[in-house]
Amino acid sequence: MKVFVTGASGWIGSALVPELIAAGHHVVGLARSDASAAKVTAMGAEVLRGDTDDLELLRAAAADSDGVVNLAFKHDFDDFVSAGRDEARTVETLAAALEGSGKPLVVASGTPAVAGRVATENDEPAPVGPGAIRAGGPRTARDYATRGVRSSVVRLPRSVHGEGDAHGFISRMIAGACEKGVSGYVGDGAQRWPAVHVLDAAHLFRLALESAPAGSVLHAVGDEGVLTADITAAIGTRLGMPTASVTAEDFGFLGMVLSFDQPASSTITRELLGWEPVQPGLIADIEAGHYFD
C-alpha cells in the first residue's frame, strides 16, 4: 500500500513510518524543512516537500495514495484553538480527495474527559476540555465514512511516552518542576491521566490503516488512568525534589490539562482489532530515566 503520512517526522510519525515500512508499505512522508526531509529519508520513506497549509499539495498527494494517515498538528500551546481549526481544514482536504474511493483515512485525535467515569470509544468530546480542541477533524473524518472513505479516528491519551519524547506533557511537567524547584500536581493529585507508549500507538495506527471499519473510533490507551500525584512523585524522585499541590495557573495551559480527571479505556479497540499494548507503562518509562538525559 502506498501510504501518505502527514507529520511523518514528528513524535508519533517517527514510530509509525518504520512500523509501516516493516509491514511492507511504501510511505510518502510530508516534510516542511530540510531537517524533517532528512529524517523521513533516513527512515526509508519517500519525501514530499511542503506543509499542511498547501491544500492543493495535500489533495494531490492523497489522491495519489492508497491510504492516508494524518498526524500533523501545530503544537502551539499558546493557541491550541487555531491549531484545531487548521487540523480540521487539513482533514477536510484529505477526506475530500479520497471521497468515493473506499481508501482508508486515519486521523489522530485525543481521548475525551467524561465526568465521573472512564471514557470509552463511544463517548463524544465535551464542549470544553482537552478532547474538545481536536474535535473538528475527527468529526469530518467520520462524516466521510458515509461518502466512500474508510475513515477511522485514533484517539491519543494525554501522554504518548517513550525514549526520545522531548515536547510532550511529561517533558513540560519536568521543565516546570526544574524551573520552580517542586514537582507539582493540581489540587489533590487524584486526577487520572491515560497514557500509551509511542510504539504501541504506532502499531494501532497501522492496524487502523489496514483493517479498521469505516467510521471507527479507536483508543490508543495502554494505562487507563495514572494519578497525576503518582506522575509528579516519579518525576520528583528522579529530580531529587519535593512534590506539592500547586494552582492550575502556575502551569498555564498545562495546568488546565492537569486539572481534569480524564481516564479512558481501550476495551472496544482491543476487541475490534486485536490490539494489545506490550511496551512499558508511563511510570515505568519515567523511572527508566528517558526524560532526564
CATH topology of domain 162-194+224-264+279-292: UDP-galactose 4-epimerase; domain 1 (3.90.25)
Least confident of 76-80, 160-164, 255-259: 76-80
Radius of gyration of the chain (CA): 18
Name the DSSP letter for residue 222.
S
What pLDDT is stored for residue 254 in this prediction?
78
pLDDT for 142 beyond 80: yes
- pLDDT more than 70, % of the chain: 93
Nearest to 196 by CA among 119, 274, 111, 259: 111
- Of 254 and 142, more confident: 142
pTM score > 0.85 for this model? yes
What pLDDT is stored for residue 132 in this prediction?
58
Fold match, 2-159+195-222 / 162-194+224-264+279-292: no
Domain edges within the chain:
2-159+195-222, 162-194+224-264+279-292
Q: What is the DSSP string of 152-200?
A: EEEEE-SEEE-TT--SSHHHHHHHHHHHHTSEEEETTS--EEEEEEHHH
Q: Which pLDDT band, with edges at 50, 70 and 90, does 161 fall under?
A: very high
- pLDDT more than 90, % of the chain: 76
CB 245 within 8 A of CB 188: yes
Surface-to-core class of residue 155, CB atoms within 10 Å of its CB (0-12 exposed, 13-18 middle, 19+ buried): buried
**Span 168-191, pLDDT tens digits:** 889 989 998 998 899 999 999 999
- Secondary-structure class of domain 2-159+195-222 per CATH: alpha beta
